[in-house]
Chain A
């Protein structure tokens, strides 16, 4: 464009026009740049937006990691698996990615014909991101479905708990629910002690969890459970339970309580037994009972240890002891003057009361606290109960408590105390896990002196040779078992029943070099035959003997019939 300034003047607009055009181009370029930058901004923004979208990968409220999270294998003390994880493929679909629903349904039903076509079609159509089609498939079925090549179908490996022993160790292991969370037993304990956190952050994957070793010996566990089931049928009993401890370490070698359940089917936990609900609980840790005359071991051990009573002391058991209207008398009445070993051997209630009275009822109460009967059990199993022992003993409660009535503790409390009494008087808190020698040393606690421990062992063996443990000893000949029976009448409607008993046998073996302590309980047993009795020696005692006879060879205890051992164990002075 020219700008005319005069008629003869030459146009001087050339540079101006070029500049004008140049300006225009620059402006256009600027617009284009602005436009392009704008477009790129939009594209970039969209990319950022897409990147920021959090894909919801959770499946029915659980992350994929949680579903495939595994639990550590549980081994017994010999390395035999008690619980393992199996990896099972589960088929799921993403309906929004399925192109031809009818085709997919048809193909899928060639492999899984039991799926309903209509149900499958409704599952596969729609805009859902995730639906389960079928869970717990076998690898072969997985392969065949994979070969079909249907888009939108995929597999997720789920961890499933499998207990190869079935119900063998049910009360120790507990079980897991469908979400692989522990419900009861050691499984629940493991969740509480950090496994649940590991799983939620995804660290518990595949085979990378170290197996957990328990103190249980599955062979002993099996024998114990078999014998208890036998006892259940043999005595038409309500229930039976037993626990065996390694006295030196406090490790539980076997623990069984029948009726029990199958951990592979957690619903069996609450299934009624013989029409009665709440029967399948762990009677060893979660049941408290009046353990009857087995308490005489506690009474005598405490009294001897205090020095107030000596083995040679004699007690008048000619007459019952009167408390107001009540008279306490003996079941196997001797009605004469008895020495301490005789009180134990004949299980004299009157004798036990006199021993306790000579010692002092407050001392007796304090001794119960000392042997840990007040405290809850230090065992890992979540199913446990606390004892019932009055804070302060009145004369009559102290008297009944001296032979195990009017106070309740769990059978495991009794087993741990018996273990301590024969382990040179040193207590080890019971555990389900393996325990190292250092831990054993750190946890050791003295209950009674070595001398008293020796005397208690003498009494226990004496009772097996001449007292209420003879039926037991006949079964376990040669294994130097000793123990005390306890026959308690069950409380029914607030009073003691004369027909329903609760029988206990607390034992240890081999008594010349004690290694194991055991408590067996039989709830409401009946006579085996017309020639047998129904007191504890006949059922709980016999069961103890049969268990020992079976497991002693497994535990490396050789039978010894030498009379010299018994002569040394039970000196003639106390016979």
Chain B
């Protein structure tokens, strides 16, 4: 009875030994990959912060203006003058008379079964 118990206990401890050994190494493995991931995250956050800083630097009016001034000649850019602003009121209304002849021609051609999309009126 005792013998059996002893054998059983010895087996258990052997298994436990192997299991603990394995666990220790797997934990080390996990810890290592965790550290690696953390480092990667930190790295990417650092990259991100740099990119964001870059982006905001490139968007600063103080950065853009010299570029615009440098290329003003090539692109014929000029500061807008007060007199160049218009309003909706300045835009002329549509011509009062619609182009009735063209409309008639369109309807006639449609009735005749010729879609101007396929064959534009007036040839070509």
* Residues of chain A at the chain B interface (Cβ within 8 Å): 80-81, 84-89, 139, 142-143, 146, 157, 162, 164-166, 168, 206-207, 218-219, 221-223, 225-226, 476-479, 549-550, 553, 558-559, 561
Q: Known contacts A219-B61, A222-B65; decide if A164 and B47 are in contact (CB<8 Å).
A: no
- The answer on a CB contact under 8 Å between B62 and A559 is no
Considering the chains assembled together, what is the distance between the CA atoms of A181 and B59 in angstroms?
26
Residues of B within 8 A of A157 (CB): 42, 45-46
Residue of B43, B52, B56 contacting most chain A CB atoms (<10 Å): B56
Considering the chains assembled together, what is the distance between the CA atoms of A157 and B63 in angstroms?
28
Determine the interface band of chain B, counting residues with CB < 8 A from chain A. 20 to 34
- Distance to closest chain B CB from A572 (angstroms): 25
- The answer on a CB contact under 8 Å between A222 and B49 is no
- The answer on a CB contact under 8 Å between A87 and B42 is yes
Residue pairs across A and B with Cβ atoms less than 8 A apart, 23 shown, are A81-B52, A81-B53, A84-B56, A86-B49, A86-B53, A87-B42, A139-B43, A157-B42, A157-B45, A164-B53, A164-B63, A168-B62, A218-B60, A218-B61, A222-B61, A222-B62, A223-B61, A226-B65, A476-B82, A478-B83, A479-B82, A550-B79, A561-B83
Considering the chains assembled together, what is the distance between the CA atoms of A86 and B54 in angstroms?
10
Considering the complex, which residues of chain B in the window 6-49 have a beta carbon less than 8 Å from any beta carbon of chain A? 39, 42-43, 45-47, 49
Q: Known contacts A80-B59, A168-B60, A559-B85; decide if A85 and B49 are in contact (CB<8 Å).
A: yes
Considering the chains assembled together, what is the distance between the CA atoms of A85 and B46 in angstroms?
10
- The answer on a CB contact under 8 Å between A164 and B57 is yes
- The answer on a CB contact under 8 Å between B82 and A549 is yes
- The answer on a CB contact under 8 Å between A139 and B46 is yes
Asked if B121 is an interface residue, CB under 8 A from chain A, the answer is no
Considering the chains assembled together, what is the distance between the CA atoms of A139 and B39 in angstroms?
11
Considering the chains assembled together, what is the distance between the CA atoms of A143 and B39 in angstroms?
10
- The answer on a CB contact under 8 Å between A84 and B52 is yes
Asked if B87 is an interface residue, CB under 8 A from chain A, the answer is yes
Residues of B within 8 A of A478 (CB): 82-83, 85
Tell me the nearest residue of chain B to A222, going by C-beta. Answer: B61
Asked if B110 is an interface residue, CB under 8 A from chain A, the answer is no
Considering the complex, which residues of chain B in the window 69-107 have a beta carbon less than 8 Å from any beta carbon of chain A? 79-80, 82-83, 85, 87
Asked if B114 is an interface residue, CB under 8 A from chain A, the answer is no
Considering the chains assembled together, what is the distance between the CA atoms of A157 and B43 in angstroms?
9
- Distance to closest chain A CB from B11 (angstroms): 26
Considering the chains assembled together, what is the distance between the CA atoms of A85 and B65 in angstroms?
25
- The answer on a CB contact under 8 Å between A206 and B45 is yes
Tell me the nearest residue of chain A to B55, going by C-beta. Answer: A81
Residues of A within 8 A of B60 (CB): 80, 164-166, 168, 218, 222
Tell me the nearest residue of chain B to A162, going by C-beta. Answer: B53
Tell me the nearest residue of chain A to B41, going by C-beta. Answer: A206
Residues of A within 8 A of B87 (CB): 558
- Distance to closest chain B CB from A493 (angstroms): 39
Q: Known contacts A164-B56, A222-B62; decide if A207 and B45 are in contact (CB<8 Å).
A: yes
Residues of B within 8 A of A89 (CB): 46
Considering the chains assembled together, what is the distance between the CA atoms of A162 and B79 in angstroms?
31
- The answer on a CB contact under 8 Å between B82 and A87 is no
Considering the chains assembled together, what is the distance between the CA atoms of A478 and B45 in angstroms?
49
- The answer on a CB contact under 8 Å between A84 and B61 is no
- Distance to closest chain A CB from B77 (angstroms): 15
Considering the chains assembled together, what is the distance between the CA atoms of A135 and B83 in angstroms?
55
- The answer on a CB contact under 8 Å between A558 and B85 is yes
- Distance to closest chain A CB from B54 (angstroms): 8
Q: Known contacts A139-B46, A477-B82, A479-B82; decide if A165 and B62 are in contact (CB<8 Å).
A: yes
Residues of A within 8 A of B52 (CB): 81, 84
Residues of A within 8 A of B39 (CB): 146
Considering the chains assembled together, what is the distance between the CA atoms of A89 and B46 in angstroms?
8
| Residue in A86, A222, A476 whose beta carbon sits within 8 Å of that of B50 in the complex | A86
Residues of A within 8 A of B65 (CB): 222, 226
- Distance to closest chain B CB from A560 (angstroms): 9
Tell me the nearest residue of chain B to A167, going by C-beta. Answer: B62
- The answer on a CB contact under 8 Å between A80 and B45 is no
- Distance to closest chain A CB from B89 (angstroms): 11
- Distance to closest chain A CB from B42 (angstroms): 5
Residues of A within 8 A of B85 (CB): 478, 553, 558-559
User: Which 10 pairs show the lowest CB-CB distances between chains A and B?
Assistant: A81-B56, A222-B61, A164-B57, A87-B46, A559-B82, A478-B82, A164-B56, A86-B49, A87-B49, A165-B60
Considering the chains assembled together, what is the distance between the CA atoms of A198 and B60 in angstroms?
30
Considering the chains assembled together, what is the distance between the CA atoms of A553 and B83 in angstroms?
12
Residues of A within 8 A of B61 (CB): 168, 218-219, 221-223
Considering the chains assembled together, what is the distance between the CA atoms of A88 and B43 in angstroms?
9
New A-B contacts (16) at CB < 8 Å, excluding given A86-B53, A165-B62:
A80-B59, A81-B52, A81-B53, A81-B59, A142-B43, A143-B43, A157-B45, A164-B53, A164-B56, A218-B60, A219-B61, A222-B60, A222-B62, A222-B65, A553-B80, A559-B82
Considering the chains assembled together, what is the distance between the CA atoms of A300 and B50 in angstroms?
54
- The answer on a CB contact under 8 Å between A88 and B45 is no
- Distance to closest chain B CB from A230 (angstroms): 13
Residues of B within 8 A of A81 (CB): 52-53, 56, 59
Considering the chains assembled together, what is the distance between the CA atoms of A139 and B63 in angstroms?
25
- Distance to closest chain B CB from A142 (angstroms): 8
- Distance to closest chain B CB from A265 (angstroms): 15
Considering the chains assembled together, what is the distance between the CA atoms of A376 and B59 in angstroms?
36
Tell me the nearest residue of chain B to A159, going by C-beta. Answer: B49
- Distance to closest chain B CB from A76 (angstroms): 10
Residue of B50, B59, B82, B85 contacting most chain A CB atoms (<10 Å): B82
